[in-house]
Amino acid sequence: MELTVFLLGTSGSIPTPRRALPAIALRREGELLLFDCGEGTQVQMARAGLSPMKISKVFITHLHGDHFLGLAGIVQTLSLWGREKRLEVYCPAEEVERLRKYLEIPRYTITFELLVEGLEPGQEVRGEGWRVLTARAHHPVPSLAYAFVEEGRPGHLDLQKALSLGLKQGPELGRLKAGESIRLPNGRVVRPEDVIGPSIRGRKVVYVGDTAVTEEIVELSRDADLLIFDSTFAEELSAKAVENSHSTCTQAAEVARRAGVKKLVLFHVSPRYEDASVLLSQASKIFPETIVGEDLLRIEIPPSK
Amino acid sequence: MELTVFLLGTSGSIPTPRRALPAIALRREGELLLFDCGEGTQVQMARAGLSPMKISKVFITHLHGDHFLGLAGIVQTLSLWGREKRLEVYCPAEEVERLRKYLEIPRYTITFELLVEGLEPGQEVRGEGWRVLTARAHHPVPSLAYAFVEEGRPGHLDLQKALSLGLKQGPELGRLKAGESIRLPNGRVVRPEDVIGPSIRGRKVVYVGDTAVTEEIVELSRDADLLIFDSTFAEELSAKAVENSHSTCTQAAEVARRAGVKKLVLFHVSPRYEDASVLLSQASKIFPETIVGEDLLRIEIPPSK
């Protein structure tokens, strides 16, 4: 099953002609989830060939302008296109009234149900075959980090072993897969774990917007296939990172290493890094599987085996 | 004196990779005025090489999302850069509270005085050497159209004639230029109009955002050097234009012809016109001095003679 991450905007705080403001689309079975929605997201979606009509849920990390000011424009466009399907928008619980008020400002008539809900750290949102987990991010305003986690799948059935034990192809195997034990005519009981391997865990994509590093953030990132992490500053500006509750590229790499992720994307790159290779070289020393996020970069997450 | 118009975004309603949402910058002696500020304006300014730090005043036509949703992002960026100079934002009087609330939504600390003022149709805003006039636009929500008008300059002094009449170079000529009559030693009185030509009118740039055509709008456009006009639809969609209180390209051209302007820019082009040549060819038949607005197009208005 396809799981693709589109980096729509990768800049921090201020957009540049090369980097738009933070927004990440995650596509799974034609459904789009959006994580943050900076100014310019709708045109970045058009550039990426993605339709906002496919968005089912939007997850906003916090209400600094660069992370959400593209949302009302998308709501207007969807209404001009006559969307009827509900759109769900999530944000930190403390910010839900502020976000609702924002979406009421423009002079448009919304043609669909627009649900804006607040989330407490630790709360989760369920979809079809996936959940989005949350953790508190450490930033001067209420902020969340998000982990998209697919449901696990049953392990592989060892068909040869099943047949050799006396099971027959057909409904019996289905019952075993559903977790039931089967009593054979010879009285022997075959349990699912006798013929089915360990369950296959779902894929995990973690997005940590603006934050200083905390243990909660490391735990949220644990074993991610892809970790997209605040990397506003290079190592030399670590004091500035502390002052503004951001992370440096090396801190991002430390989290990736400690959390045992497969791949790290440096994200929310300060406009001062016209050439972001310094971020990459510093982070790669700590965590080699690092890339610098670039606008319109598309990352496919292969199915777990 | 330089007077340059920068078309920052020329699309109508929905942005495309080729056309950003409505925004026009007008530069005069280093001062920038902004007319409308759609989502994406700050990055379009960066592409045009214009700094938002230079903006002194912003004029918003109305609060459909595509005309103002780039403003909070600019306020955030200016605050990150530590602007101290006051920024004045004008909009239709009925919308002033709504616009103020919008600018209070993001979690930023504004570092400068942000003045948001409402204007009634006919009210004007004065700057150094110019005024912005307003007229009611005909659209489903409170809307204004704006005319930037430079102050006129005194006419040219006919020096040869002045000397032949017996005037001397020096303070006498200054007094004449200031409007004073001079009595010569021979008793004859020289009036300013005897030696100074008619005063030279200032340049005029008119921006009519979303509107159906009205007589007020034609009057506002009168004798403009440049008229930037709502041209959402081609002639074939005139019924749709009426339904949505927009103008067609041919209506825009009719206004340009009737108002006696020098040059017309078709603006607020519907995303359906990937190729806008149909708009140009229809309008040019009525008013030959027509161009289709393109993003980042820069138009210099030569000084009046």
**Mean pLDDT to the nearest integer, B254-281:** 96
| Residues A112, A85: Cα–Cα separation, whole Å | 6
Find out whether B205 and B262 touch, Cβ atoms under 8 Å. Answer: no
| Residues A54, B261: Cα–Cα separation, whole Å | 45
Q: What percent of chain A has pLDDT over 90?
A: 85
pLDDT score, position B271: 95
pLDDT digits (tens, 9 = 90+) for B43-63: 999 999 999 999 999 999 999
Mean pLDDT over the full length of chain A: 95
Does an H or E element contain B42, and which? helix B41-48
Q: Which of B218, B159, B227, B229 is nearest to B194 (CA)?
A: B159
| Residues B23, B61: Cα–Cα separation, whole Å | 10
- Give the gap in angstroms from C-alpha B73 to the nearest C-alpha of chain A: 6
Of B40, B64, B107, Cβ closest to residue A108: B64
Q: Read off φ and ψ for residue A121, nearest 5 degrees.
A: -55, 135
pLDDT digits (tens, 9 = 90+) for B208-263: 999 999 999 999 999 999 999 999 999 999 999 999 999 999 999 999 999 999 99
Of B17, B69, B75, Cβ closest to residue A72: B69
| Residues B6, B296: Cα–Cα separation, whole Å | 6
Q: Which of B218, B210, B220 is nearest to B245 (CA)?
A: B210
pLDDT tops 80 at residue A288: yes
Strand stretches in chain B, DSSP E: 3-9, 23-28, 31-37, 55-59, 87-92, 114-119, 124-127, 130-136, 144-150, 182-183, 189-190, 204-208, 226-230, 264-267, 290-292, 298-300
Does an H or E element contain A26, and which? strand A23-28
Inter-chain CB proximity B16 and A46 less than 8 Å: yes
Give the model's confidence band at B174: pLDDT under 50 very low, under 70 low, under 90 confident, else very high: confident
| Residues A46, A39: Cα–Cα separation, whole Å | 14
pLDDT digits (tens, 9 = 90+) for A198-207: 888 999 999 9
pLDDT score, position A177: 84
Inter-chain CB proximity A46 and B15 less than 8 Å: yes
pLDDT score, position B300: 97
| Residues A271, A280: Cα–Cα separation, whole Å | 15
| Residues A43, B15: Cα–Cα separation, whole Å | 6
Inter-chain CB proximity A46 and B106 less than 8 Å: no
In total, chain B counts a number of residues equal to 305
Angle B67-B71-B72 from CA coordinates, rounded to 5°: 135
pLDDT tops 80 at residue B179: yes
pLDDT tops 80 at residue B79: yes
A146, A161, B158, B165, B177 from B169: Cα distances, Å: 78, 115, 12, 12, 12
pLDDT digits (tens, 9 = 90+) for A38-55: 999 999 999 999 999 999
Inter-chain CB proximity A69 and B106 less than 8 Å: yes
Inter-chain CB proximity A14 and B77 less than 8 Å: yes
Q: What percent of chain A has pLDDT over 70?
A: 100
Inter-chain CB proximity A105 and B141 less than 8 Å: no
pLDDT digits (tens, 9 = 90+) for A231-287: 999 999 999 999 999 999 999 999 999 999 999 999 999 999 988 999 999 999 999
Q: Read off φ and ψ for residue A296, nearest 5 degrees.
A: 75, 10
| Residues A156, A151: Cα–Cα separation, whole Å | 16
Annotated active-site positions of B, please?
66
| Residues B53, B74: Cα–Cα separation, whole Å | 9
Q: Read off φ and ψ for residue B52, nearest 5 degrees.
A: -65, -15
B45, B104, B124 from B113: Cα distances, Å: 22, 13, 21
Inter-chain CB proximity B20 and A14 less than 8 Å: no
pLDDT score, position B53: 98
pLDDT score, position A304: 79
CB atoms near residue B36 (< 10 Å): 28
pLDDT digits (tens, 9 = 90+) for A116-174: 999 999 999 999 999 999 999 999 999 999 999 999 888 888 999 999 988 888 888 88
Which residue do the tokens 């030279």 mark?
Answer: B200
pLDDT score, position B275: 87
Considering only CB atoms, which residues of chain B are within 8 Å of chain A?
13-17, 20-21, 39-40, 42-43, 46-47, 62-66, 68-70, 72-73, 75-77, 80, 98, 101-102, 105-108, 140-141
CB atoms near residue B26 (< 10 Å): 24
pLDDT score, position B89: 98
Angle B149-B116-B71 from CA coordinates, rounded to 5°: 85
Inter-chain CB proximity B17 and A43 less than 8 Å: yes
- Give the gap in angstroms from C-alpha B287 to the nearest C-alpha of chain A: 31
Domains of chain B as residue ranges with CATH:
3-151+198-300 (3.60.15.10)
pLDDT score, position A25: 98
| Residues B67, B69: Cα–Cα separation, whole Å | 6
Annotated active-site positions of A, please?
66
Q: Look up residue B226 and give its two tokens.
A: 């440049």
Chain B residues near residue A69 by CB distance under 8 angstroms: 39, 69, 72-73, 76, 106
- DSSP-derived secondary structure for B107-144: S----S-EEEEEE-TT-EEEETTEEEEEEE-BSSS--E
Of A46, A63, A80, Cβ closest to residue B13: A80
pLDDT score, position B38: 98
- Give the gap in angstroms from C-alpha B42 to the nearest C-alpha of chain A: 8
pLDDT score, position A269: 95
pLDDT digits (tens, 9 = 90+) for A92-124: 999 999 999 999 999 999 999 999 999 999 999
Chain A residues near residue B139 by CB distance under 8 angstroms: none
Interface probe for A, chosen from B11, B39, B99, B100 (most Cβ of A below 10 Å), is B39
Chain B residues near residue A16 by CB distance under 8 angstroms: 43, 46
pLDDT digits (tens, 9 = 90+) for B91-124: 999 999 999 999 999 999 999 999 999 999 999 9
Nearest chain B Cα to A74, which residue? B14
ipTM, 2 dp? 0.91
- B150-181 burial: b if 16+ Cβ within 10 Å, else e: beeeeeebeeeebeeeebeeeebbeebeeeee
Inter-chain CB proximity B17 and A77 less than 8 Å: no
**Mean pLDDT to the nearest integer, B156-184:** 88
CB atoms near residue B302 (< 10 Å): 9
Q: Look up residue A293 and give its two tokens.
A: 């996020």
Of B15, B70, B72, Cβ closest to residue A42: B15
- Give the gap in angstroms from C-alpha A223 to the nearest C-alpha of chain B: 32
Chain B residues near residue A72 by CB distance under 8 angstroms: 65, 69
Q: Which of A266, A268, A269 is nearest to A292 (CA)?
A: A266
pLDDT tops 90 at residue A83: yes
Inter-chain CB proximity A107 and B64 less than 8 Å: yes
Q: How many CB pairs under 8 A join A and B?
A: 106
Which residue do the tokens 């950003």 mark?
Answer: B20
Mean pLDDT over the full length of chain B: 95
pLDDT score, position B155: 87
